[in-house]
Amino acid sequence: MADVPYGHPDFGRLWPCNCRMAEKLSLRGEKLRAMSNLGPFLNKTFENFDAGVPGVARAYARALKFAEYPTGWLILFGGYGCGKTHLAAAIANRLLANHNEVLFTVVPDLLDHLRSTFGPNSEVGYDERFEQVRSAGVLILDDLGTENATPWAREKLFQIFNHRYNYRLPTVITSNREPREIEPRIFSRMTDRELCDEIIIIDGDDYRRTQPAQRFEQKKQQHLQRLGRRDGSR
């Protein structure tokens, strides 16, 4: 019990000890990591992301900043293969390395996780799973807009977004859709300047198709251009 005087709202109220609280937080973190399915993305880091590929520098800088100081919402729009998922996974891996509570999930997979709780063999109830998702310390939603947009799916996503919007919870969202294709109720929250001061649109080439040799040549040319500007200024 808390050491408070008689009449205090917490007088006589039982509180878990610090070790029990730490155990609960650790268990919650483990459950989120198990849900994250980061296995295929463990090699996606900031260190092996080539920020020299044209069109990705701004997204890289903002993602790195978010990973170090996870506040507000980070929104990344761009076509297939532009590096969005790599950056989102890099954020998750950096946060986990720094012992932050984070849930990384591809949106269609997230909805499948929620649906699975209604099955007879589910080890966790829907309410518990839904609360884990919407209240995660940092939630990273990859590929918003690729889900099967049934009325149920739209409502569940809105409830998640609305909860995180109301409580100002750090969130990362990636999408390859046009902004106008995002459900209006969700998009209006994504564009609130109090949470997201800039939506990043990656308009570079397909990151995955840019071969290492091409990247080297691009960096070489950029370096030569910088040297030329310096020489011309003397």
For the chain, what is the mean pLDDT?
83
pLDDT (tens digit, 9 = 90+) per residue, 149-161?
Answer: 899 999 999 999 9
Residue type, 29: G
- Distance of alpha carbon 175 from alpha carbon 161, whole angstroms: 15
Lowest mean pLDDT among 65-79, 151-165, 195-209, 217-231: 217-231
Please tell me the predicted confidence (pLDDT) of residue 124. Answer: 86
Mean per-residue pLDDT, 208-227: 50
Q: Is residue 15 over pLDDT 70? A: no
Q: Is residue 57 over pLDDT 90? A: yes
Does 25 or 36 have the greater pLDDT score? 36
Closest CA to 137 of 99, 166, 108, 109: 99
Strand runs labelled E in 4-159: 73-78, 102-106, 138-142
Q: How far is CA 28 from CA 25, 107, 156, in A?
A: 5, 21, 21
CATH numbers and ranges of domains, the chain: 27-224 (3.40.50.300)
Burial of 163: CB neighbours in 10 Å, binned 0-12, 13-18, 19+: middle
Please tell me the predicted confidence (pLDDT) of residue 78. Answer: 93
Q: Is residue 31 over pLDDT 90? A: no
Residue 51 three-state SS: coil
Mean per-residue pLDDT, 156-182: 95
Q: Is residue 207 over pLDDT 70? A: no
- Distance of alpha carbon 188 from alpha carbon 165, whole angstroms: 10
Does 209 or 19 have the greater pLDDT score? 19
CA dihedral sign of residues 32, 100, 51, 216: negative
Residue 8 three-state SS: coil
Give the whole-number percent of the chain exceeding pLDDT 70: 72
Does 27 or 81 have the greater pLDDT score? 81
pTM over 0.85: no
CB atoms under 10 Å from CB of 155, counted, come to: 12
Burial of 92: CB neighbours in 10 Å, binned 0-12, 13-18, 19+: buried
Residue 109 three-state SS: helix
H helix runs in 98-169, sequence order: 107-116, 126-134, 151-166
